[in-house]
Structure 1
């Protein structure tokens, strides 16, 4: 029961999506659109921001893993030089 409900990475992705959605919704409302349009714009932005930030945050980890797998497949390493 001491484990967190969400990981730090998941929390960061959702927080960034929430900030993006809120920003777009507020800017849409300030531009003179109605509340329904502002709400839809904010929700759409938040929905699209989740996979964007998910890939953006994981990009560095994926590159390192791909590089390690490529080195292992190529037979490179300290013992094969």
Structure 2
């Protein structure tokens, strides 16, 4: 009796993960204040106050996730029996 067994297992796994995160934040604050005061002896008082506040906020977030998975599995079983 002659028994020959060949077992061949090949496993190839390739995993690629590409993550790209871009965060762009831009904050602009403009504060402008003008105060004009005029006082005259004739009991006349003029007060002009002007306050301008400009708040501009831009937030841009970009997230890219690329997941690539390749799995190659090859299994060979050769059984040869001679009696």
Smaller-chain TM-score bracket: under 0.3
Considering Cα pairs closer than 8 Å and 6+ residues apart, tell me whether 1 or 2 has the greater RCO.
2
The structure with more helix, counted as a fraction of residues: 1
TM-score of the aligned structures, taking structure 2 as reference length: 0.23
Between Structure 1 and Structure 2, whose CA radius of gyration is higher? 2
Alignment TM-score, normalising by the size of structure 1: 0.24
